[in-house]
Structure 1
Amino acid sequence: MKEYSLDEVLGFFEEYYITQSQQMVSRWIRHGKLNATRSDYRKDGYRVSEEDLFEFIEEQRPGLRKIYDIYKDHIKQLRSQRIEQETRPQLSEATQVNEIKSEEEIHEMEINQFKDEVINLESKITDLEYDKQLNNEKMLEILEQNSSLEEEVNTLTEDKNTYIQLNKKLNEENKQLKDAAPTMTKSDEKNGKSKNTTDRARAKINSTLTLDEFKKAGKKVISTQIDKFSEKELDEHLINAYNIVSDESSNIKKELLIKDGSFKSPYIDKPYKQQKRFVTHVIEHYFKNLDVKKESTEEKAVANE
């Protein structure tokens, strides 16, 4: 297969109105648009095969080569006809006139046919250029979309790295918390309790009990007997009952506190887990004992009489 040097290739490109720049030809070769092979001799540079050359020309100027081939064939025919006319014997003037007219008609028909083909090829070229423009616009849209997607990917990658760092930090903090957490003793494991359970129980034991809270609860407990006492008497009795279970710091007395967080009754051997029930029990027993003492006093008075 025949091969051409870059100078020869440039000559073809100039003939087909593609480019007159040697640099443009070299750039097409570097970018792979025009297939070329480097010669074994460095001085010869690149070589382009005939097939690759005319394939590239057809891509750049569709149909133009065919037009040139028709034109060149027509020129050859005209030259051969002219040589034939010059070599053959002279005919009569009328015959020469008829032959000239016949040749002119044939020539005119060929020219008209050539013009029609040129018009068709120009129409195809216009369509191809329009399609090329549409493809370029689509290509620009795709490039913009790719650029936007690349930005989103970069953002997601940054977010992923941030999440990885946060997850790593959380794992380290969890590990530190586990290391710092109190370990369970064997006895606690059997009872299903840990050291912090004891701490919570102690916090409940140390709960306070104010006099106002005690009075408010007492009035609800003895609401059916409240008419038996004057306001002053009722207030004195509630204070007396409060002093039975509370110390000077408004805390429940230590001897009435149990380690498991419950409260010990000062009247009977029964623990109460809730402070509200403990207070209700104390008030009920106080006023019950008060009624018993009152009845005992009345009976002694009757006996003395």
Structure 2
Amino acid sequence: MRNYNVHEAVKLLDKYYITDSIQMVTRWLRERKIAGVPSSNRKNGWIITEEELFAFIEEKRPGLPQIMSVYEEYIKNLTIEKNEEWRDKYTNEEAIHQVDCKKKEKDDGQHYNSDLAEQNQSLEGMVQQLLEEHSLLNQSMVEVITQNQDLIEENKTLIELFEIMDKELKELKSTKEKTNQKEDKNTNKKKTDVKGKDKRNIKLEMPYKSFCAIANEGSEQSNKKIEKSKLDSIIKEVYGLLCENEKIKGELVNESGFISCPFSNKPFKQPKRFIKHAVQRFIERHEKGVQVTLEMLS
């Protein structure tokens, strides 16, 4: 593996369509874009290994060293084939006969010069053909390099687009999970509220028979002597004011679940205490001649 100085490196980089500037190559060496070692010889400047130099060429022109290698091998084989054709052409029997004739006619310098002119013309034609093929190969090589660069840029764009879409997808999944969790909490809360209302409705059930038993206890605690028939009439009236469809009326229950007495506006958590209190207040008002009507519930 050989080493290159700066001038040799510039020639090689120019061959691969990268740069023909010594100053540019020197700057790349100082910036460590090309790995090189400063030389003790100021004329050479730097020492660059073949491996490091071709690694830089591959980075700048991906695939070009391989293409050039194939091209140079093709030119080499083409030249060998042309030389073999030329040699074969003049080693057959006809060529030998022509040489013998030329020996016999060597005094005829004009004829000999004519043959040389034809050979020279033939060689010039071959050289021209090689130049044309070289030009076509150069053109094809530039097109391949351009296409390769376009594909690299397109690949970078697709990678960036994929990363953006992947990030948005993750954000959408995260948002959906949070929304589902929020909906689950709301659903559970509604279920809990419904259960709480059901329990409250169960507690507020009040059949007339149960109401009478509680009301009688309340009347006894009031220390008011009332005839049984009159007391039954009062209990029936109070039941109609407080209950409906064998349940305590919903308008008497607030959002916290407390039952408000329509005669004193006092809240109660237990229906039993509420009924006793309401019956006692109703009896007190009844004795004072206060008329109790449904308007008290408004």
The two structures have a TM-score, normalised by structure 2, of 0.40
The two structures have a TM-score, normalised by structure 1, of 0.39
